């Protein structure tokens, strides 16, 4: 986590907030001692392509035509 002094944070607060909105945690330090963190309120989860791959399946019956009795219910 990047660390900034309180003086530097006051000078660049809008930039630090933008970085926090992007999901980064920012540490604020008084001198060399960390005292606070700037974190996003609702971090956006990172989307992962193919995350559900292999967790579900579609059987052959899905692609077969519906029986007449089922089709009548949808009319």
Q: What does DSSP assign to residue 63?
A: G
Q: Which domains, and CATH codes, for the chain?
A: 1-41 (3.40.1620.10)
Q: Tokens standing for 46?
A: 């990172």
Helix (H) or strand (E) segment spanning residue 6 = helix 6-11
- pLDDT of 8 higher than 80: yes
Q: What is the pLDDT of residues 10-59, one digit of tens each?
A: 999 999 999 998 889 999 999 999 999 999 888 677 788 998 899 999 99
Q: Tokens standing for 7?
A: 């003086």
CA distance 33 to 28: 9
């Amino acid at each position: 986590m990047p660390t900034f002094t309180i003086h530097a944070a006051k000078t660049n607060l809008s930039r630090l907030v933008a970085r926090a909105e992007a999901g980064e945690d920012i540490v604020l330090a008084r001198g060399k001692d960390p005292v606070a963190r700037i974190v996003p309120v609702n971090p956006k989860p990172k989307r992962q392509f193919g995350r559900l791959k292999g967790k579900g399946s579609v059987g052959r019956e899905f692609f077969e035509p519906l029986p007449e009795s089922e089709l009548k219910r949808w009319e």
